[in-house]
Amino acid sequence: MEPKNVSLEMRDYIAEMGAETINWCMQCGLCTNLCPWRLVPGETSENFNIRHMQRLGQMGMEGFEEESVLFACSTCSMCQSNCPRGVKIVDNVRAMRASIVGGGMAPANLRPILGSAHANGNPWSGPREKRTDWQAGLDIPAFGPDTEYFLFVCCHSCYDPRSTKVAKSIATLLKAAGVSFGVIGNDESCCGESMRKLGDEELFQKLAQSNIELFNGKGVKKIITTSPHCLWTFKNEYPELGGEWEVIHYTDLLKQLVADGKLSFPKAAGKKVAFHDPCYLGRHSQVYDAPRQLLGSAAGGDAVELGRSREMSLCCAGGGGRIWAEVPMGERFGELRVTDALDKGAVMLTTACPYCLNMLTDACNSLGKQDELEITELSEILAAAL
């Protein structure tokens, strides 16, 4: 085997792009062992080893640029949350991607997605003027100077036909509870969370600046997000760019509304339902109790806990831009999640993230289990129980 060259320039460039903690890594390998890629077979599983990838980054060595290595991580934070040295592994992955994508070398399958986000302000090839089509027949208020909350609907739930039901359910719940909320509409852009994780820093900055100018110009003070990905980036990445607002995921707000007696769910579903913790709501944002309390209110004793849950929840594989990855059947993390739910006797698997909804639905269909297990988003259960 030919020896690989060490490049100090590349090492420094990766660090500059945000891999500030990469040299804290002592190569213990715990991250690799905890990674969900160890749970599935296949080429990506064989090629991708996060410990080794970071070693290459520490040395500025080539070998990490291969698509099945560099773009395999779903940024689930299972490794990061357990790293004994506190290495910010997700930032390291993002920086290593940025060192390649920033040079114009994004993988071919990602170019249309990044191109759409540049041109349309969303990665789903949806025209801007159709961003609010999900509102049809719902009489959703426009955000104005006297509105308390700005409801930011994830691009996925603006354009994906299945996912628009999430936006509709959340808006219905907010209206039922008498919340003062409104949307801005077609001028909103994607939060950019996935774009940044894919390594397109320039695109992220463009989307973030556009949103910050828009939201601040409208006088936004408080934001409700439908997706945990928007929640995370608004809370953790926007403040240093000038976007400082009070940001809450819809589950946390609804939990408060139930506690205040403003919302109740008299029509319980009466089905055995399991909850899947989205990585960006759970491990990344530490919101574990709100969805469970809401599910408890709407499903009562019919809610069941999955074996791998809360801090140890198994990723659906949709984060870090992996929602756009083509993964062969038998290698999808979501298939393991569907099996987890069936093993618990659940007839419904619910979650609180549009990406998880998408990934779990695909996994359930690929296993042919759609007649045994219904995949839903929590807001749908809650809206049906009003």
What residue ranges bind ligand SF4 (CB under 6 A)? 25-31, 34-37, 50-51, 54, 73-79, 83-85, 87, 89-90, 315
Q: Name the residue nearer to ligand SF4 (CB basis): 290 or 317.
A: 317
CB of 33 to ligand SF4, least distance (A): 9
Instruction: In whole angstroms, give the CA distance from residue 102 to residue 65.
Output: 13
Amino acid occupying residue 383 = A
Task: Choose between 28 and 138: whose C-beta lies nearer to ligand SF4.
Answer: 28
**17 vs 69, beta carbon nearer ligand SF4:** 69
Beta bridge partners of 304: 274
* 77: region left, alpha or beta (phi > 0 left; psi from -120 to 50 alpha): left
349 near 320, Cβ under 8 Å?
no
Per-residue tokens: 49:
């080893």
Q: Based on CB atoms, which residue is closest to ligand SF4, 358 or 376?
A: 358
CB contact set of 334 (below 8 Å; sequence gap of 6+): 316, 317, 359, 360, 362, 363, 364
Shortest Cβ distance from residue 38 to ligand SF4 (Å)? 8
Q: Which helix (H) or strand (E) holds 233?
A: helix 228-236
What DSSP element (H or E) covers 222? strand 222-225
**Alpha helix (H) residue ranges in 71-176:** 89-101, 111-120, 155-159, 164-176
d(CA 228, CA 17) in angstroms, rounded, equals 24
* Cβ proximity to ligand SF4, 168 vs 197, nearer residue: 197
Residue 369 CB, nearest approach to ligand SF4 (Å): 24
Least distance CB 331 / ligand SF4 (angstroms): 13
Distances (CA, A) of 134 to 30, 123, 335: 44, 17, 29
- To ligand SF4, the closest distance from the beta carbon of 28 in angstroms equals 4
> Which lies closer to ligand SF4 via its Cβ, residue 73 or residue 154?
73
Question: How far apart are CB 272 and ligand SF4 at their closest, in Å?
Answer: 29
**Which CB, 30 or 386, lies closer to ligand SF4?**
30
Smallest distance, ligand SF4 to C-beta of residue 119, A: 29
Nearer residue to ligand SF4 within complex by CB, 29 or 328 = 29
Closest contact distance (angstroms) between CB of 374 and ligand SF4 is 27
CB 263 within 8 A of CB 250: no
Who contacts 218 (Cβ-Cβ below 8 Å, separation ≥6)? 143, 150, 184
DSSP 380: H
